Structure 1
Amino acid sequence: MARDLTRTLIWRPNEEERRGGSRQRDYYYREYPTQGYQTYRQPYQQPYHPYRRGGPQRPRPQRRFNEFNKPLRIIPQEEFLRLKAEGYGRFYIDKQIRRKTPMVFVTYDGVLRGLILRRMPYNLDLLANGEKIRINKLDIKYCYKQSHEPRILPYIQIDEEVKALGLGPEMDPSRRYQIDDRVLIQCYRERRPIVLVLRGGEVFGGVIDWFSKYEVKIELPSRRCVVCFRHAAYSLGVAAY
């Protein structure tokens, strides 16, 4: 009685591939006997191309954190509008928290240097001089990275007339200086320089890197950036061509 045979697909390089030609695979069948009426296929031990065999592989680099890879969750309408208004400012603060970047925050009472520990809708937790400090965002006029300070300070001018007014944080939003978003959009698209004067008398001149409902990031001529809070704005001027 003849034996039942099954055939298994096996890879074998052809002559053209041995000579360095195309890597088109050439297949042939290897026959294996069966016992009784049961038929089965014998898997080949090395079914892959010799250049693709399994073995020790280089470890994959760890994927960097991406804010958009977080699992989706349903949020209330009020929280959605708040996140939409925060825009780039929220991502900027979160990035400095992840990277533990030393920051400089200039307030109406002085200068604070330290790391950002936590971001909240109206406050920031800082680690300054080994102590945890919570500051209100309304008290902050502008901030920047501590490593960029030598190339930022020479480009900060002071308007003595505004400084002499001794203005503090304005709690009433209706009494603050309102920056027109249409002006910011046009200056951003055309890369037109702006001059922003804060309530403390500081004057910043440069182009807009990005802006949100609460902040404006200005790129100074030294190619370093300062994040100014819009609630601390006193006036805004646009360079004329």
Structure 2
Amino acid sequence: MTQLQGFSDYKKERYESSCFTALEGSGEETLFLLHGQKSLVGTVVRQTTYDIHVASNGGELVVPKVDVKCHASASSAEVVSKLIKIDKKVSTLELGPIHAPAHRYFIKNKTLYPLIKEKQVMLLTLLEGEVIKGLVENFSRYDVEMRMKGGVGLTVLRHAIYDITDKKGRCYLKSFQKEARDWKRSALYI
């Protein structure tokens, strides 16, 4: 049987973890980029299945998880805003949150795993046109952790992804990789 070396162990360890679980109760000031070109800075007090409760400016806001596109440490907010570019073509599509998982733009786990190991620079485009350039560091069922220029960390929620390409423009979405199967070209594929 052929497989990706270390992939099943990685999935067992990380796949069910959620970035919101890590933030919940940590007290970490976090910058959240939300749909509708909004942002919010606060701390995750608690979470439910579909919402996060964020303490911000002395109050508590309930934010649907599907409204969160990505998040980073609040201390890196200025740097993050400079590093994120906009794809004007995608932004004119006026895409909002996609609630039904079957209609989302999906990246296969076995496509993401070699990208971590090979440290390949990727371009992640979000539904509203934001383009995040960096290395894929980790992923779970719900999110993809990126490391941008200068070591700035950013976590992208998988439901907010529109496209993922390498610097040459090769697509890594499931719809394309169904035929291309780039993970088979990885040195990890045994």
Instruction: Quote how far apart the aligned CAs of 1:137 are.
Output: 0.6
Q: Go from structure 1 to structure 2 and tell me whether the alpha carbon gap of 1:84 and 1:157 turns closer, same or farther (over 3 Å shift).
A: closer
Distance 2:64 2:167 in 1: 32
Cα displacement (A) at 1:93: 3.3
Q: Is 2:16 the partner of 1:86?
A: yes
1:132 aligns with 2:39: no
Q: State the SS of the aligned residue for 2:60.
A: strand
Equivalent AA in structure 1 for residue 76 of structure 2: H
- How many corresponding residue pairs? 155
CA contact (8 A) 1:152 1:222 kept: no
Q: Secondary structure of 2:149's partner?
A: coil
2:119 is matched with which residue: 183, 191, 198? 191
- Partner Cα separation in structure 1 for residue 24 and residue 108 of structure 2: 30
1:176 matched to 2:104? The reply is yes
Q: Identify unmatched segments of 5+ residues in structure 1.
A: 1-82
Provide the secondary structure at the position in 2 that maps to 1:222. helix
Distance of aligned partners of 1:115 and 1:207 in 2 relative to their CA distance in 1, 3 Å threshold: same
State the percentage of identical aligned residues: 26
Looking at structure 1, the residues matched to 22 and 163 of structure 2 have their Cα atoms a distance apart, in angstroms, of: 29
Shift of 1:119: 2.2
Corresponding position: 1:106 with 2:33: yes
CA distance in 2, matches of 1:231, 1:105: 15
* Residue deviations 1:42-80 (CA, integer Å, cap 9, x gap): xxxxxxxxxxxxxxxxxxxxxxxxxxxxxxxxxxxxxxx
Contact 1:151 1:222 in 2 (8 A): no
The corresponding residue for 1:215 is 143
CA distance in 2, matches of 1:122, 1:200: 21
- From 121, 146, 153, give the equivalent of 2:81: 153
TM-score (norm. length: structure 2): 0.76
Q: In the alignment, is residue 231 of structure 1 matched against residue 159 of structure 2?
A: yes
**TM-superposed deviation, 1:98:** 4.1
Structure of higher CA gyration radius: 1
Partner of 2:185: none
In structure 2, C-alpha distance between the alignment counterparts of 1:198 and 1:135, rounded to whole Å = 19
**Which one of 201, 218, 224 corresponds to residue 129 of structure 2?**
201
d(CA) in 2 for partners of 1:145 and 1:158? 21
Runs (5+) with no aligned partner, structure 2: 1-12, 169-190
Q: Between Structure 1 and Structure 2, which shows a larger proportion of helix residues?
A: 2
CA-CA distance at 1:208 after TM superposition: 1.2
Q: 1:84 deviation in Å?
A: 6.9
Deviations 1:166-213 (A, max 9, x none): 111111211110112122111101111111000010000110121111
The alignment partner of 2:155 has SS state of strand
Change (3 A) 1:84 1:184: closer
RMSD, aligned CA? 1.8
Q: Is the 8 A contact 2:70 2:154 kept in 1?
A: yes
Shift of 1:238: 2.1
Give 1:96 shift. Answer: 3.2
2:48 pairs with 1:120:
yes
Partner of 1:63: none
